[in-house]
Structure 1
């Protein structure tokens, strides 16, 4: 047989034609250029499509970051319950101030009786006692001879011999934490309120006890301060007493208990407030409290600030300069200096109707002054802030008659105690710190745009030839 010659398959030969053509140098270059143009075209389309998408995501990121930053700048401080089982032994017992509000002069002379009535009227107006709403124009016009008398200078010394009005005659019996005490050793006589008020456990009185403020470890009646006061003094009888329960570091209290009954019971419900040091970084109008260093710099406590605000309110409404008691006025930066209010007269008994119409107690520690008239409700905010670490003493007063027959109309008993053995403690803290803000910004940018600090650094470095990463092949 003869040899058969092998011939290539026609189909295979046709398939290799392109390869043969591609192997030609000119055709190979044209093919690569065509492929590159096609690739660049789709790359440009993708880049153009990403621009509006990136712009939208960038706007969304900025908007969400702004919402997050509002928590930092406007809602940074929050008050939360720190503890619900704080024992009363961990806080100070409140200061207690006792003031004669209404007296009956045993001197039957006409002059003594009229002066006593002026004293009681001035005391009712300045303290806004329950007798104040009953005063009318006839009551104020009944004493023309005392029209120019300064109402704040009227005190017990004006009516009686101060020797007869002393601690040993005023108090009959005192008990502290269930143990009898010498009343004159635990009370201090102060003239701040004009009337020789007696104060217990206060750091703002003259010559306070070095161990004040004191504390108790129990609650309930007779567990705190219990005092008995003689209603029948030597030259006068006590018709009404005012009792102020306040912080030992303050001059005034949130409320004043007035009573004509034989027994005044004042259960105290305290609330403790604290603040962490980082809160001081926020503006005062946001944290709404003062740290001790700021109080020292301002030179006045919250009660002094409120007192000054109330006096200024009277000055604006009644157009007169009120002369305050000397011990307190010295601490208020000479607010009562008449030269400070040129062209105004000194307040006197004839200005008491104006005081009473405004229904403002000069000695009540209220930060809000009500100006409401008929159906219009308006208030004035004194803007006096408490200390960041302080205790509020809320009271609910009730009165009753003594059961013992021999005590009726002879003694007035005052019982101040903690109602419960535990209390709530609140703490102001930073709800959103600078670190939280940074983490929030980073999380928002990573979630929406998928960027990070490392990604931005690499993108910047890739712009420089020396820092570019080498391509494979």
Structure 2
């Protein structure tokens, strides 16, 4: 009986010791394996000065000194990394000269659009009345003539002129197609052009110039992809045309007849032409006035812009430009049937605001596409918003603009790879010009060589990685392998050391307490 009690007592004691040993193993092994792993890491790490923290030969104040030094180095390293990151994010791209000897033969000759300031041939008025409103009253016919007077100087931003007929107009002409009226009333190509030369060779003007929709109305364009192609252009394989030389009479020479005698009798506007020089793929929207009896030289200075492949990887908001392929992907604003460029984007944006305010587009100013054409009532509607349509607001907050002021907003970035044609105009008023109604244009390159710029990233991700690596190497002598070391000792080595320390401690306890087995 006593032997049985002793055995029970011994079993209870053994059970207590086993549980005590388990807790001891857990706490002791945790402490030992963390310290051991830390010492092993600092001893073998490739990071500078870290091994001083656990070196047995070092005194406590020496270890504290090196700990303080490492702390300061960490702060300095973090500061330098922040500076590098800010530089990377604030200066993403830079534009540099790539070549000063880029030949003009490598780029298309620009589109040349000529608009007669005398847009309407007043001599066709009776014919137009007979064609479009033959059975209308004399009062309505006079109102129709007043409408033609407004078309005389009609362009984008002058819709307020239609207020002059607002009181008398009751919708009687809304069934008319304004584009057809405008097209009927303009001067025909054969009457407008007198003489043309291309690359010093006389050519048929009306085979090289064709009708063009512009923001000045219907004009005539040379070397344009956005106008009605002539038969010659349709059968030309290498189009747009190019010029290999520079200087006077080396490219396009034109003489036009402004025909001031066909103007509305009391019209007081200037007599001359609007000359627009743009890329062949751009919708004409910004011209220069040249007065009658002028011999003018339009001297073209092209500038070519290109980008590196690394720029394409940046966000458009960061690179501040678009690639043509992104027009569909990002649903960019551009005219129907035309490639993306800033000029087309601006024209499309203005057109969309016409639709927004009056649900129509002026077909002799913009290609209509799927937007309904404006009738005269719609033009009267646009006259109410003329001030807004002429006010373009900046997209970002600007102290020089009132945020509450109404205007149109057009987010139109330039193309990443583009050609810009800057123009120097030198009109000379020539009393000896053969005809008082003529304007003579000589359009040519200033030089046969042009400037080419290339935009590249200031810091690529590789540059940023190298920069961070240099900073880490400067302060701690680190490399990518140092990071691998840290990960290894934080995970794999930690687990291995934990298992080892736990196993050794269990063996030691069992050796001292054999009855726990």
Cα deviation, residue 192, structure 1 = 5.8
Given the alignment, which residue of 334, 341, 345 partners 1:305?
Answer: 345
Report the CA distance shift for 1:282/1:225 in structure 2 as closer, same or farther (over 3 A). Answer: same
Local SS of the residue matching 1:424: strand
Q: Distance in 1 between matches of 2:183 and 2:142?
A: 12
- Of residues 424-433 and 39-48 in structure 1, the stretch that sits farther from structure 2 once superposed is 39-48
* Residue 195 (structure 2) pairs with residue 166 (structure 1): no
Instruction: Tell me the residue number matched to 1:26.
Output: none
Partner of 2:155: helix, strand, or coil?
helix
Quick one: structure 1 residues 145 and 186, their matched pair in 2 at CA, closer, same or farther if it must change by over 3 Å?
same
Change (3 A) 1:122 1:352: farther
Within 5 Å, give how 1:374-385 maps onto structure 2: 382-385=410-413
Structure 2 Cα separation of the partners of residues 311 and 99 of structure 1: 20
- Identify the residue that residue 206 of structure 2 maps to in structure 1: 184
Match for 1:57 among 62, 73, 87? 73
2:290 corresponds to 1:262: no
Deviations 1:389-447 (A, max 9, x none): 111111233433345353222x2223222223332211111111111111111110111
Are the aligned partners of 1:153 and 1:194 in contact in 2 as well (CA < 8 Å)? Answer: no
The answer as to 2:210 corresponding to 1:217 is no
**Separation in 2, partners of 1:375, 1:222:** 45
Partner Cα distance (1:295, 1:160) in 2 = 32
SS in structure 1 of the partner of residue 117 of structure 2: strand
Distance in 1 of aligned mates of 2:250 and 2:383:
41
Tell me what 2:197 maps to.
Answer: 175
Give the one of 129, 144, 155 matched to 1:126.
Answer: 155
Matching residue of 2:432: 404
Match of 2:97 in 1: 81
- Post-superposition Cα deviations, 1:178-222, rounded to whole Å, max 9, x if no partner, equal 111111221122356685421111112233543221111222232
2: CA distance, partners of 1:446 / 1:371: 43
CA offset at residue 52 of structure 1?
3.0
Superposition map of 1:237-256 within 5 A: 239-253=271-285, 255-256=286-287
Task: Rate the CA distance shift 1:86–1:174 in 2: closer, same or farther, 3 A.
Answer: same
1:446 aligns with 2:468: no
Query: Does residue 200 of structure 2 align to residue 200 of structure 1?
Result: no
Over the aligned positions, Cα root-mean-square deviation in angstroms equals 4.3
Equivalent residue, structure 2, for 1:341:
none
Q: Hey, what does 2:460 align to over in structure 1?
A: 433
**Distance in 1, Cα, partners of 2:194 & 2:62:** 96
Structure 1 residue 276 corresponds to structure 2 residue 308: yes
Are the counterparts in 2 of residues 323 and 346 from structure 1 also a CA contact under 8 Å? no
Residue-pair matches, total: 403
Question: Is 1:295–2:311 an aligned residue pair?
Answer: no
Equivalent in the alignment of 1:229: 256
Higher helix proportion: 2
Deviation at 1:235, TM superposition (A): 5.8
* TM score, norm. by length of structure 1: 0.71
Residue 116 of structure 1: how far off its partner (Å): 5.8
Determine the structure 1 residue equivalent to 2:420.
392
1:144 deviation in Å? Answer: 4.0
SS for the counterpart of 1:81 is: strand
Which residue of structure 1 lines up, in the alignment, with residue 362 of structure 2? Answer: 324
Instruction: Provide structure 1 residue ranges, at least 5 long, that are not aligned to the other structure.
Output: 1-38, 339-344, 468-473
- 2:84 maps to which residue? 68
Counterpart of 2:64 in structure 1 is 48
CA distance in 2, matches of 1:371, 1:406: 54
User: C-alpha separation between the residues in 2 aligned to 1:191 and 1:454?
Assistant: 65
Q: Matches of 2:183 and 2:395 in 1, distance apart?
A: 35
Q: Any idea what SS the aligned residue of 2:325 has?
A: helix
Structure 2: distance between partners of 1:50 and 1:374: 56
**Contact 2:322 2:414 (8 Å CA) reproduced:** yes
Please give the secondary structure, in 1, of the residue aligned with 2:62.
helix
Question: What's the CA shift for 1:460?
Answer: 6.9
Q: 1:65 to 1:320 in 2, by over 3 A?
A: same
- Which ranges of structure 2 fall in alignment gaps of 5 or more residues? 1-54, 127-137, 265-269, 335-339, 498-517
